[in-house]
Structure 1
Amino acid sequence: MTGEMNILPLPQTTPTSARPQVVSGELLKLLTPIEGLITAGQTAKAEVLSLKQADQTFQLLLKVTLDSGRQTTVQATSNQPLPQGTSVAVTQPSAGNLAITVQQAIASSVATLTRLDTAQLPVGTLLQGKVLTSQVLPQVPGQPTVFRSMVSLLNTALSGSTLSVDSPQPLRIGTLLSAQVQDTQTLKFVPLSSRQEQLAVTQQLLSQTSRQGSLEGLLKLLQNLPPSNQTSSDLRAAVDKLLAGLPDVHQLSTPKGLALALASSGAFLESKLLTGQNPALAPDMKGDLLKLIAQLTPSLPASTNLGAIIAANTLAQAMPSFVRNALGMLGQVSAKPPPTGFPLPERMLQSADGEDDLEHLLRLTAAAVSRLQSHQLSSLEQTGVTSDGRLMSTWQLEVPMRNLQDIVPLQIKFQREDAPDKDPPQERRDEREPKQPLWRVELAFDMEPLGPMQVQAQLIKGSLSSQLWAERPYTASLIESNLAALRARMLDCGLNVGDLDCHHGKPPQGPQTRLEQRWVDETA
């Protein structure tokens, strides 16, 4: 997660030698009513040992020290969070409640900060902390939503201190976060160690790949789904909505139609959620698959072993949160891993013994969600910095398209490379040309009667080069004979066309045979 959070300006504290200011009247509800814990008219000292949020309330563990010196611990709930280590004076108006006064004097065990001392923590210092609480503040008309959290610091000399911060995005309770000091009242989120993030993405990608299944098998089954007593009207509506959102070849041949198909592919579902968009207002492949799973689950017989069937879809429910954290990597300077194989191989799941139609459909749907998530994770894995310092961003996705009566999954990968930002000599800075990003596009599809094909293209400064591969000899010969017409149409579009070739077979794989090495002169 990236962004800024503000340290709240807490009330000014008084010196420890002065009489502490108190705030009276706060009631804590005891989880277990205790009669006569504190005698009438007396107070006792207490310290907050732990703080845990439960929905909109907070559970506290208090260590109470009576006047006699006896100590006991009690559990209570509060509407307001009290940081760990806070000293309070308590009375007991009834068996189920405690009335408290919060001591505002700073003691050695209480380190509630009102500001950051940049002499002690210079700008740029990395702070690490654990999120204790998270609340959404009342919405102010015309203003963005603000989330308030309490964060316990884990490093520097302020270890053990508690910060109360406001942020534009909610902080998940119990998570660790890192932030850089910007000034006395502002911190900026930074992602976790790039190595840790990359390892997490790679591990999730491996598990997703083993569970994924091709979209083609699911979509064909949905097209031919027979009427049955098991298929409810809501399930039918979910299937119809999913199939109706599939684009056709004509739609993908227009810029607007292609942009809509890419946005609806499911690769950007989490991004829509992050920006507050309602994905239900527009078709979304991944969202529609998750809705289909929700409709299928109650329709299964009670005797069905749901645990085994839905095990493949466990990460699907946790994926939005995972990707929200991982999306913080995009655009960050992290070591670029070896490229993941493209395209994803075809994988058809057969019906298991004793499995009815709805069980098989649920398993195929879960595998389709895993396939879309494999593309998302591949995008994250391939986003980073190349060995020569170029920043690479990758978007990999899959769009099922209609071709007459067939549905053809189209796999697409976009890559953008930006040159490293190295300052030129001062005398040449004004003469320097604006940097142009290098774009690469890869396509993979299997459309009859052409058969399996792959396309790789590279675009920089309006100059396009492309290589095409066809696995069928007839298709390769047909494309080769039409390359001149293809070049002419590209020139009519205002492009400068470089290499334009077609080959029989599959593209070579591996870092030593990557496509860009054919065009070193063009990208120098």
Structure 2
Amino acid sequence: MTPDIKLSSIPLNSLRTGPSSAPATAAAVPLELLRPIAAATLAPGESASAEVLQNRPRDGQFELLLRLARANAAPVEVSVRSPQPLPAGTELRVQALSPVRLLAVLAPPAESGAAPPTLTRLDPQLFPNGTLLQARVMESQPVTGEQNRFALLARLLQGPAAGALLSLDSSRPQPPGTLLTAAVENGALRLSSASEQVRQLDLLQGMRLTLPDQAPATPMLRTLERLASLPDLPPLLQASMQQVLKHVATPEHLATPAGVAQAIRQSGIFLEASLQQLQQALSTGNAAPSQGTAENTPAAVNLPPLTRLLPLLASLATPPGTEPLPGADFKASVLNLLITLQQHLPADPGRSLAMPPGPWQPSLQVRPGLFPLPTRTVQALTENADLGGLLRLTAALLSRIQHHQFQSLGQTQTFADGSSQTVWQLDLPLRDGQQFTQVQLRIQREQQAPDQRQSEQTPQWEIRLAFNLDHLGPLQVVARLYKGRVSSEFWAEQASTLRLVNSQLEQLRDRLLTRGLEVGELSCHRGSPPQPQQAVQQRWIDEVT
């Protein structure tokens, strides 16, 4: 499969006139700081002007001394390592990518009309395979003497080399003003289809809207149980509360494979798929066996509006251990409770469902693969529990379920070679006696490309669990299974938890062996595990953009 667009050295002077006709040059240079730079000096994402003071070779690379000129601050000198020499006196524009990495772009000449740098190659350190680029076509013309070949000049709109120009060789015409969204593939660019671009933008927007408003199930369930026991509650509201509580599993229910499977099915991330399944079942049941009109064909059978359907589905909520009906799950019950609360609370145009401001993680990035989801402080809503606070906690829990759904969709895709990756990310609410907690769960299934030599490919599985129990603290588990061989990593922040888990590893190994599995490495680590490894085609969301 050939790429749609390649970086090209086609002369573009014919496209540009006057002072802007500077020769193309690969002007973006990745720099590695010899010492981490303080955020107060240059925070990630910030830019500054710089001048090269010294340049000397060192171990096959070049060690540079830069003077950073910052607005309203004294100049600062930093030492960096560069893959290419930059003579003393060179003027640069640098941007901090992280505390230990900078991106330098040669500063354009000072005269009026000077052109920004033009890239004729993509540095793999800055643009690894799978990086999504957006660029605006500035100029375009067919290549003389060749069919279906066009020379383009496009400006990068985001990323580490934003503002730089790309000299491109395209197999299809791209009028000036066209917005290109393409993925880096072995130094070339592959355009994303319009529908895929819309899908990606919709997922990004959904993640951005739901992440700040989400909160875990634990505070909501505690408040819900306390309010559900109050006398004089309207019967419909009390029934909606009890229906939510019915979906909370217990350790006994999660002790069996069937119980875990049911808890996952009823977690809420499959609600829309279940509604589609329900509609198909109703359509099949109502379809006439003989020829029919448009009114009685399966495609014409529709479900009632959600405002009428959700109470019905919530009333069908089944306790753990009972096979659920399609659409009768945790999210449906939470939605029904949200609607019922709004109906029974006095009308208040000023009431907001958003969570109140409070402590939050700084510079939290919205991206696929964010696991586990962060928690937030909602003490003010749980100490003085009332229906208004329950309404906001319910809306926050719904945002969390939706964010898990966006995360699952954002990481699920089929690649060009036929391989695929499917991700399910969710919460499992849990009641242990009088206490509520939850388990965050991420399941990843990787399927290799079809092979004519093998009738069926064996998928590779990775399962991540995240707990935060009072007596254990944060605890994460990463388990991998491939062709009957399982390995597992345990990550804990408390030393006592680490010792406890380590003392149980041999017992875990014996239990896995009795299940007929081949056991690989079982290990314990202090801290948090690395984030889930993303396939190269997935790095399409960058909050900086």
TM-score scaled by structure 2?
A: 0.49
* RMSD between aligned residues: 2.9
Q: Select the structure with the greater relative contact order (CA < 8 A; seq sep ≥ 6).
A: 2
1:363 paired with 2:392, answer: yes
Instruction: Summarize deviations over 1:251-295 as a string: whole Å, max 9, x none.
Output: 101011111111111111111101116844344111111111122
User: In structure 2, which of residues 342, 347, 352 is the aligned counterpart of residue 309 of structure 1?
Assistant: 352
Q: Identify the residue that residue 436 of structure 1 maps to in structure 2.
A: 458
Structure 2: gaps spanning 5 or more residues: 1-192, 280-311, 319-328, 356-365, 537-545
Q: 1:433 to 1:460 in 2, by over 3 A?
A: farther
Opposite residue 460 of structure 2, the aligned amino acid is L
User: In structure 1, which of residues 349, 359, 364 is the aligned counterpart of residue 378 of structure 2?
Assistant: 349
1:461 paired with 2:506, answer: no
2:535, 2:503 → 1: CA distance?
A: 26
User: In structure 1, which of residues 450, 467, 490 is the aligned counterpart of residue 472 of structure 2?
Assistant: 450
User: How far is the alpha carbon of 1:508 from its aligned partner?
Assistant: 2.4
Instruction: Summarize deviations over 1:373-408 as a string: whole Å, max 9, x none.
Output: 000010000011469763101111111011222111
Superposition map of 1:82-231 within 5 A: 193-225=195-227, 231=233
1:241, 1:198 → 2: CA distance?
A: 35
* 1:340 match: secondary structure: coil
Contact 1:343 1:411 (8 Å CA) reproduced: yes
Opposite residue 232 of structure 1, the aligned amino acid is P
Superposition map of 1:270-309 within 5 A: 270-276=272-278, 279-280=313-314, 281-283=316-318, 284-302=329-347, 304-305=348-349, 308-309=351-352
Q: 1:388 to 1:475 in 2, by over 3 A?
A: farther
Instruction: Summarize deviations over 1:437-494 as a string: whole Å, max 9, x none.
Output: 1111111112242222111111111110111111211111111111111101100000
Opposite residue 512 of structure 2, the aligned amino acid is M
Considering only CA atoms, is the larger Rg found in Structure 1 or Structure 2?
Answer: 1
Contact 1:272 1:279 (8 Å CA) reproduced: no
Q: 1:390 to 1:339 in 2, by over 3 A?
A: farther
User: How far is the alpha carbon of 1:311 from its aligned partner?
Assistant: 6.6
1:441, 1:199 → 2: CA distance?
A: 27
1:298, 1:419 → 2: CA distance?
A: 50
Q: Which segment drifts farther, 475-484 or 236-245?
A: 236-245
2:483, 2:391 → 1: CA distance?
A: 47
Contact 1:300 1:359 (8 Å CA) reproduced: yes
Opposite residue 501 of structure 2, the aligned amino acid is I
Q: 1:339 to 1:377 in 2, by over 3 A?
A: closer
1:248, 1:301 → 2: CA distance?
A: 35
Contact 1:469 1:505 (8 Å CA) reproduced: yes
Q: 1:483 to 1:254 in 2, by over 3 A?
A: same
Instruction: Summarize deviations over 1:279-325 as a string: whole Å, max 9, x none.
Output: 443441111111111221122124x23x642478xxxxxxxxxxxxx
1:453, 1:241 → 2: CA distance?
A: 30
User: How far is the alpha carbon of 1:504 from its aligned partner?
Assistant: 1.8
User: In structure 2, which of residues 405, 408, 420 is the aligned counterpart of residue 379 of structure 1?
Assistant: 408
2:379, 2:267 → 1: CA distance?
A: 25
Q: Identify the residue that residue 5 of structure 2 maps to in structure 1.
A: none
User: How far is the alpha carbon of 1:359 from its aligned partner?
Assistant: 1.5
Contact 2:243 2:317 (8 Å CA) reproduced: no
TM-score scaled by structure 1?
A: 0.51
Contact 2:420 2:449 (8 Å CA) reproduced: yes
Structure 1: gaps spanning 5 or more residues: 1-190, 313-336, 424-428, 515-524
Opposite residue 298 of structure 1, the aligned amino acid is Q
2:464, 2:385 → 1: CA distance?
A: 38
User: In structure 1, which of residues 406, 421, 439 is the aligned counterpart of residue 450 of structure 2?
Assistant: 421
Instruction: Summarize deviations over 1:107-145 as a string: whole Å, max 9, x none.
Output: xxxxxxxxxxxxxxxxxxxxxxxxxxxxxxxxxxxxxxx
User: How far is the alpha carbon of 1:249 from its aligned partner?
Assistant: 0.6
Indicate the percent of aligned positions where both proteins have the same amino acid. 39
Contact 1:273 1:279 (8 Å CA) reproduced: no
2:480, 2:194 → 1: CA distance?
A: 33
Contact 1:252 1:258 (8 Å CA) reproduced: yes
